[in-house]
Amino acid sequence: MIKKIYFQSIFFSFLFFKEAFAAESGGMPQLNPEFWISQIFWLILTFGTMYVVLSKFILPKISNNLESRKSQILENIEAAEKQREDSEAKLKEYDEVILKSKSDAKTMFNQTREKALKDIMAKKEVLDQQIDDEINKAEKEIEVLRVSAPDKINKIAIETSSELLEKLIGSGVNSSSISAIVDDLSKRNGDKYYGN
């Protein structure tokens, strides 16, 4: 039902329009030459003015702006490139400095270590020498003491034995015979007492 009304109304509206057009048809206003001269005059006036102003004042300014912007951007890019190169060179320099200082530190460390080792060795040698000397001295003394010790022991043995004999017997005994006995004994037992 609604559909029917819809299409009917469209159909009738066409009829109305036809009537309306028929009543007011005056042809195309474009083909009425009444204002042609006026339109030509105003077209030339406005378009001409616009062309002169655009070409003399505005367009050169725009092209100038574009050019200067382009050159400015190029300059900026160039400057940025240059700065980048500079910073790269600086970075290289820095790396080199770091590398050099590292190697310097290494050599310095090695040198000082060697020097310290040398010092230590020298001191050690001196000390060794001293210790050796001391040891030699002590050994010599010991040797002397060891060599002299049996004689002293024998002497003491002789003295004590002669004193003992004197007390036991009551008269002196020939010391030379005692010493001969002691010597004989000590020679026989020498290994036991001195370990040589």
Which residues are at the interface with another protein (CB under 8 A)? 5-6, 9-10, 13, 16-17, 20-21, 24-32, 34-44, 46-47, 49-51, 53-55, 58-59, 61-66, 68-69, 72-73
- Closer CB to another protein, 2 or 147, in the complex: 2
Taking the complex as a whole, the smallest distance from the CB of residue 48 to another protein amounts, in Å, to: 9
- Closer CB to another protein, 15 or 168, in the complex: 15
> Which distant-in-sequence residues (6+ apart) come within 8 Å of 194 by Cβ?
146, 149, 150
- Closer CB to another protein, 8 or 177, in the complex: 8
Taking the complex as a whole, the smallest distance from the CB of residue 73 to another protein amounts, in Å, to: 7
- Closer CB to another protein, 73 or 126, in the complex: 73
The CA distance from 34 to 149, in Å, is 164
Taking the complex as a whole, the smallest distance from the CB of residue 78 to another protein amounts, in Å, to: 15
158 close to 175: Cβ distance less than 8 angstroms: yes
Taking the complex as a whole, the smallest distance from the CB of residue 101 to another protein amounts, in Å, to: 44
- Closer CB to another protein, 11 or 196, in the complex: 11
Taking the complex as a whole, the smallest distance from the CB of residue 87 to another protein amounts, in Å, to: 23
Half-sphere exposure of 58 (CA within 13 A, CB side): 6
Identify residue 25 by its one-letter amino acid code.
S
The CA distance from 69 to 84, in Å, is 22
The CA distance from 51 to 56, in Å, is 8
The CA distance from 7 to 53, in Å, is 56
Can you spell out the DSSP letters for 77-138?
Answer: HHHHHHHHHHHHHHHHHHHHHHHHHHHHHHHHHHHHHHHHHHHHHHHHHHHHHHHHHHHHHH
Taking the complex as a whole, the smallest distance from the CB of residue 81 to another protein amounts, in Å, to: 18
**Tokens at 99, concatenated:** 């590398």
- Closer CB to another protein, 39 or 148, in the complex: 39
